[in-house]
Structure 1
Amino acid sequence: MTNGLPPAPPAPNPPPVPDARPDRIATGLALRLFAIACLSTMSALIKMSELRGASLIETMFHRQLWAVPLVTLWVVMGPGLKSLKTQRFGAHVWRTAVGLTGMIFTFGAVILLPLAEAQTFQFTVPIFATLLGALILGEPTGRHRWGAVIVGFLGVLIVVQPGREAIPIFGAFVGLMAALFVAIVAITLRQITRTESAGTTVFWFSLLSVPVLGAIYAFNFRPHDAETWAILIATGLVGGVGQLALTGAMRFAPVSAVVPMDYSGLIWATLYGWLLFDVFPTFSTWLGAPVIIASGLYIVYREQKLARGQASYAETPL
């Protein structure tokens, strides 16, 4: 009792505010898994169209052409067309040149190699990103990441098995070049996205690609049956959806969380290879792929640890 009045009851504890972050990460992971499923489906469609007589330039042209309306619609429903205005047009031209070169190797690997093997070589992207980050951007790279790079390339040797022709050497070269250019694109985007949104970057890449590919395609036009045309159109639509899902995943979860989902592509590649082309991964691929994947995951882990500041100042740089 105070001043003749009973003490006020204690204020109830406020209800805990739910942490939205786990749900956002789950959304990001789901989008990344969906994106990888779409891109794996696109690879299967590329291989199907090539077997039906479509050329590399045709698949590239339709991949970019049908992505343009999808990306435009996504921008309209999001930040609006005004967000497409850019002060760095030259940077987008450079990104397009690098992206198209990488697309030649990526699509070429799908055509030259079984799907699972082509997908396995894509897992070397973190390895090349580490090399380029050290050589071009001057990023600190110590024994941990260099060790992972060496292990990753040992995994490549296990898959290729030089001298035994487990994988065609030229096909392996194209697959590794595809991964190299994906890493170059990643570094290029790291520079561009400091001032440009992801939607703006994807839009300009798609739009600028079409005239270049169209000019070459005009001299390589081939007639096809209705099913082949449908496959070519589906290549662009499925690839465009996958690209948008990749972009969306980055809005909800950090890179270190979503990148491990990329390894689900090997499951899709194996499944499509079996169902559509009656091809299974070679024994050397089953041996080498886990080594490459482990290397990439360790690089992602070290990057995540450095980003969180868990590594001490005195520790050897990542």
Structure 2
Amino acid sequence: MTSARHDRPLLALAIRLGGVMGLSIMAALIKLASTRGIHLAEIIFWRQFITVPILLVWAWFAGQGVGRERLRLLATKRPRDHAMRGVYGMIGMVFNFGAVILLPLAEATTINFSAPIWAVILSIVFLKEKVGIWRWGAVLAGFAGILVIAQPGDGHIPLFGAAVAMAGAFMIALISIQIRDLSRTENPMAIVFWFAMMSSVCSLPFMLFVAKAHAPLDWLILLGTGLAGTWGQLMITAALRYGKVSSVIVMDYSAIVWATLFGWLLFAVLPPITTLFGAPLVIAAGIIIAWRERVVRRAPFTDQRGTAGT
């Protein structure tokens, strides 16, 4: 598998690009659902619940043997870790879906790109990792870009919405640590499946208070949210079978193109000049961080001061 992954970098990039498109479509449909009066809790439930039967059917036909043996791809020996992933993931969805609802799509997407910046900070706090001038510079540039986009005090975008988006990016960074740990022993499909199961169960009680009858178009939007989200999640994960994270992550920034396009087509909103200036700073910060992470992994014998791996 390792050699196949290295031999097919273009395929990895194409798959990742398709996954980003799927998640971008999901974000646009979430915002569209909100404008039609569908509650955030209901959007979260249907987004996750729709994933469960899709993966059950997929695992059944992809598996071998008879009976429950065909679902072996979804088996796990770490239910507690998946439960914790479900809790963190639910919190992350509230913030990230909330950001899409509160902010224009382009701004919500760009602030979402600050996840690598938070990952650097988390690595310092929890992993006691030494970070040098390159990554510190990227962190500062990224936050400067967010300030340019948010323009505190001018009312271009609500500061509460910007704060929600920042919290969502922080949760993405935190969850990525969990997923990295789960990936050591778990099949990618199992990680997605158990997250969908856990979050569906957690969000189900809220449906008693927010669920209501919908028009056929509303149901199509909710269905599309679940299908696009599942498609995006699986393709984002599948890309890592053919390319390294540091190589394919650059495709994630194509989301700003989709966000701008959908914002214009569905909501007649184009990003202002401040976003056009701030977005490159945030994107450049993420690319620099990914590049330095790759350099660090290639130089394991650096001196104890951490000068070569910063």
Report how far residue 284 of structure 1 moved: 0.8
CA contact under 8 A between 1:166 and 1:284: conserved in structure 2? no
Question: 1:27 aligns to what?
Answer: 11
**Secondary structure in 2 aligned to 1:208?**
helix
Report how far residue 141 of structure 1 moved: 1.8
Question: 1:303 aligns to what?
Answer: 293
Partners in 2 of 1:63 and 1:185 — Cα distance? 18
Relative to structure 1, the CA distance from residue 22 to residue 196 in structure 2 (aligned partners, 3 Å threshold; closer, same or farther) is: closer
Question: 1:198 aligns to what?
Answer: 188
**Secondary structure in 1 aligned to 2:295?**
helix
Partners in 1 of 2:124 and 2:58 — Cα distance? 35
Question: 2:215 aligns to what?
Answer: 225
Question: 2:66 aligns to what?
Answer: none
Relative to structure 1, the CA distance from residue 270 to residue 78 in structure 2 (aligned partners, 3 Å threshold; closer, same or farther) is: same
Q: Give the AA of the match of 1:280.
A: L
Question: 1:10 aligns to what?
Answer: none
Report how far residue 25 of structure 1 moved: 1.2
Query: Are residue 211 (structure 1) and residue 195 (structure 2) matched?
Result: no
Partners in 1 of 2:162 and 2:5 — Cα distance? 40
Report how far residue 125 of structure 1 moved: 0.7
Report how far residue 166 of structure 1 moved: 2.3
Question: 1:169 aligns to what?
Answer: 159
Report how far residue 138 of structure 1 moved: 2.1
Report how far residue 224 of structure 1 moved: 1.3
CA contact under 8 A between 2:111 and 2:166: conserved in structure 1? yes
Higher-helix-fraction structure: 2
CA contact under 8 A between 2:132 and 2:306: conserved in structure 1? no
Question: 1:48 aligns to what?
Answer: 32
Report how far residue 23 of structure 1 moved: 5.2
Partners in 2 of 1:105 and 1:38 — Cα distance? 19
| Equivalence map 1:227-246=2 (5 Å) | 227-246=217-236
Report how far residue 86 of structure 1 moved: 1.9
Question: 2:67 aligns to what?
Answer: none
Larger Rg over CA atoms: 1
Worse overlay, 56-65 or 206-215: 206-215
Query: Are residue 281 (structure 1) and residue 271 (structure 2) matched?
Result: yes
Question: 1:71 aligns to what?
Answer: 55
Partners in 2 of 1:31 and 1:125 — Cα distance? 21
Partners in 1 of 2:4 and 2:47 — Cα distance? 36
Q: Give the AA of the match of 2:181.
A: Q
**Pick from 142, 150, 155: which aligns with 2:145?**
155
Question: Across the two proteins, how many residue pairs are aligned to each other?
Answer: 300
CA contact under 8 A between 2:16 and 2:251: conserved in structure 1? yes
| Equivalence map 1:39-188=2 (5 Å) | 39-78=23-62, 80-188=70-178
Gaps of 5+ in 1: 1-18
Q: CA RMSD in A?
A: 1.7
Partners in 2 of 1:236 and 1:21 — Cα distance? 28
Worse overlay, 125-134 or 71-80: 71-80
Worse overlay, 227-236 or 160-169: 160-169
CA contact under 8 A between 1:36 and 1:265: conserved in structure 2? yes
Report how far residue 78 of structure 1 moved: 3.9
Relative to structure 1, the CA distance from residue 196 to residue 139 in structure 2 (aligned partners, 3 Å threshold; closer, same or farther) is: farther
Partners in 2 of 1:275 and 1:218 — Cα distance? 34
Question: 1:4 aligns to what?
Answer: none
Q: Give the AA of the match of 1:261.
A: M
Partners in 2 of 1:256 and 1:71 — Cα distance? 27
**Pick from 22, 25, 46: which aligns with 1:38?**
22
CA contact under 8 A between 2:4 and 2:242: conserved in structure 1? no
**Secondary structure in 1 aligned to 2:157?**
coil
Q: Give the AA of the match of 2:239.
A: A
Q: Give the AA of the match of 2:122.
A: L
Gaps of 5+ in 2: 64-69
